[in-house]
Chains A and B, each alone.
Chain A
Amino acid sequence: MKTMTFAGAIEDALMKAMSDDPRVVIFGEDVQALRMNLYAKFGEMRVRPTPISESAFLGAAVTAAMAGLRPVVEIMMIDFVAVAIDALVNQAAKLEVFSGGRWKAPMVVRASCGGGYGDGGQHEQTLWGWLAQVPGMKVVVPSNPADAGGLMLSAIEDEGPVLFMEHKLLADYWIDALANAGRINLEYDIPEAGARGEVPKTWEPIPIGEAKMLRDGDDLTMVSLGVSVHRCLQAAEELAKSGVHAGVIDLRTVTPLDTDAICRAVEKTDRLLVVDEDYKHFSLSGELAAIVLEAGLGAKFARVCVEDTIPFDRRREAQALPNVPRIVEAATKLVSR
């Protein structure tokens, strides 16, 4: 049995993809330091540090992909994609339709996301619902090392733009660089099973768009992704103590959304609780409610999300992000309705 860290699994999958296919190139800010091993192995033509010019290098990734490369382009934090959003929203996502299906941009945008370490509302967003909203974009959000490696391979093999988001609480090097920075006197609620875990002997792509049922339960269905999946599993344990049986689905992919898996589970439980670290309004959680309604299911619905700009103060931040007590409370209310 092989175990790896979340970040180690992504690096290992990238190493395989880059060894197998010379068209796979990385560029982004500080990649000579952040991806030091890949930089040492593949050289600067394939692991290329960029200036802080997101709109230029993200835009360039689109046409580099159109012209035959398979770029894995890095935006250090997903918050910063706002600076370069044109490349995704108006260029990459539109290409296939605009060209009548004749041209595609097989690129991966890799970005860190998420909070829980006190970095403020401009460095801790997830924004996956916002980005998934544009037709033509695929968005994956792994919650553990095995999914991270497998989904990275699929993202690279995919013929269109894929946004690959790694939560900072899962990737140890982000916590080391941004949160602890050499200190040992601070604590973070890091889900162990997400930060390190079993991985396959050899990497195989995990299909994009397939959710995974992690826990069965008849009373309600929790649907989540990223770090919140682990909060849900913990909440489900707590709920079981009081006789409430909650199922947990890890979406793994925001878009394309695995509508069938969600509806199948909700049909059985009649109750859907979405736990989403993204914003509540005009969001993934709202989309999930709509999907269930459109399927003709009259399920009861609740959601635990981020409702406002994330506070810098860690005490208030912890309340703003989905946490186990909030999930247990929402679930308890939902089953009593």
Chain B
Amino acid sequence: MQPNAEGLYRQMYKSRRFEEAVTQLWNDGHISAEMHLSKGEEAIVAGVLDHVMDGDALALDHRASAPMVMRGIDLALLLKEFMGLEGGLCRGMGGHIHLFSPEHLAASSGIVGATGPAACGFAIAAQHLRPDKVAVAFFGEGAMNQGMLMESINLAAAWSLPVIFVCKDNGTAVTTSSADVTAGDLLTRARGLGAHAVSVDGTDVDEVWSAARDAFVRAREGKGPMFLHATCVHPEGHFLGDPLLRMVRNPVRELRSKVGPLIKAATTGGSSLSERAVSLGSIAGMLGRARETQKHTRDDPIERQRQRLEISDAQRDELERAVDDEVQTAVAAALRGLEAQP
């Protein structure tokens, strides 16, 4: 079985265009507070979701846009939810971090690591009620240091639960470099807990798709969980308006009020000079890493897949235009919903 290049491209492109619309609405102030995009994770989500069928369950983290879009949830329902409208997927009560679709057995949570136990529970229900069905848990590498996720991998392995643990690794836990706070390596860790584990380039949808196919086959055959590690980049950082990215993109405006106190703190006593120098070096390193994430356009998962398409430019344009129309229709519906709001 081979992946459908066009279908995967369409899914990734749709998610990306959807999130571009979300970004615009957020910039315009129609969406409140935090906005965590799936941007950069599209190949991972598309490669996994392509194997999902009705009856399979999704335990989603705070980046649930792409999985919800690719699972086929109505785009306008999602946008309205993000805008807090009564007509949203969850009546505007949950917002983008708390998306739920009982029909799709899809549930999200903003608590890091919580998708591990959630997927285990979905899998236990599948063992009883839906033979051959599986549960997928999405989480970042930062969650790999959360106890409940480690407990969940063990539980899934000990009970041979049909769970696919998908670790989306961008190397950064909010603003902290994961390498600085994570010992050992994640595959060895997952294997130590009894899961079958593989690692792929998460910007290559073919690689993800093939690894995920094996994971789903194993899980459906009752052979237990698989840990699928996939690397990626978040071009927008942790969330839209990420403070570190703002400092990198707009150093004059964003750093003006911060540099004075920082220099004063570092130069007026405290720990030894060498320790303070190390701190300043770490801060510079943190900003440097943030700057790096901006340079990864060559690894953009959607662009990579676009290059691989074996259809004519006209066919591709038509595919993209159809998606653009779908997204624009949803945005128009959401804005109408906003106007109709009392």
List residues of chain A with CB under 8 Å of any chain B CB: 15, 18-19, 29-30, 32-33, 36-47, 49-56, 79-80, 82-83, 117-123, 176-183, 185-186, 309, 311-316
Contact with A along B16-57 (1 / 0, CB 8 A): 000000000011110011110000000000000000000000
Pair B176/A41 contact, Cβ less than 8 Å: no
Contact with A along B75-114 (1 / 0, CB 8 A): 0000000001110000011110110000000000111110
Return chain B residues, CB-CB under 8 Å to A32: 175-176, 279, 282-283, 286
Contact with A along B107-144 (1 / 0, CB 8 A): 00111110000000000000000000000000000110
Pair B271/A120 contact, Cβ less than 8 Å: no
Complex: chain A residue closest to B173, CB-CB:
A52
The 10 tightest CB contacts between A and B, nearest first, are A181-B241, A118-B32, A43-B275, A313-B84, A312-B95, A51-B145, A41-B270, A43-B271, A37-B265, A51-B181
Residue B329 lies at the interface, judged by CB distance under 8 Å to chain A = no
A123 to chain B, nearest CB (A): 6
Pair A181/B34 contact, Cβ less than 8 Å: yes
Question: In whole angstroms, how far apart are the Cα atoms of A49 and B244 in the complex?
Answer: 16
Pair A40/B142 contact, Cβ less than 8 Å: no
Return chain B residues, CB-CB under 8 Å to A316: 84, 92-93
| A30-B174 in contact given A41-B265, A120-B110, A178-B33 (Cβ < 8 Å) | yes
Pair A182/B241 contact, Cβ less than 8 Å: yes
B33 to chain A, nearest CB (A): 4
Pair B32/A186 contact, Cβ less than 8 Å: yes
A320 to chain B, nearest CB (A): 10
Return chain A residues, CB-CB under 8 Å to B97: 119-120, 122-123
Question: In whole angstroms, how far apart are the Cα atoms of A183 and B113 in the complex?
Answer: 29
Return chain B residues, CB-CB under 8 Å to A180: 241
Question: In whole angstroms, how far apart are the Cα atoms of A33 and B265 in the complex?
Answer: 14
A75 to chain B, nearest CB (A): 12
Instruction: Determine which of A46, A123, A183 lies in contact with B29 in the assembled complex, contact meaning CB atoms within 8 Å.
Output: A183
Residue B240 lies at the interface, judged by CB distance under 8 Å to chain A = yes
Return chain A residues, CB-CB under 8 Å to B29: 183, 185-186
Pair A185/B28 contact, Cβ less than 8 Å: yes
Residue B314 lies at the interface, judged by CB distance under 8 Å to chain A = no
Pair A312/B271 contact, Cβ less than 8 Å: no
Pair B33/A179 contact, Cβ less than 8 Å: yes
| 12 contacts across the A-B interface (CB closer than 8 A) | A29-B176, A41-B265, A41-B266, A41-B268, A41-B279, A44-B275, A44-B278, A44-B279, A49-B176, A51-B178, A181-B243, A314-B32
Residue B272 lies at the interface, judged by CB distance under 8 Å to chain A = yes
B256 to chain A, nearest CB (A): 13
Question: In whole angstroms, how far apart are the Cα atoms of A183 and B270 in the complex?
Answer: 35
| A51-B175 in contact given A118-B95, A122-B110 (Cβ < 8 Å) | no
B21 to chain A, nearest CB (A): 17
| A53-B147 in contact given A44-B278, A44-B282 (Cβ < 8 Å) | yes
**Given A50-B181, A83-B113; 19 other pairs, CB 8 A cutoff:** A32-B282, A32-B283, A36-B262, A38-B265, A40-B266, A41-B266, A43-B271, A43-B279, A121-B98, A122-B109, A122-B110, A123-B33, A123-B34, A178-B33, A179-B33, A180-B241, A182-B241, A183-B241, A312-B32
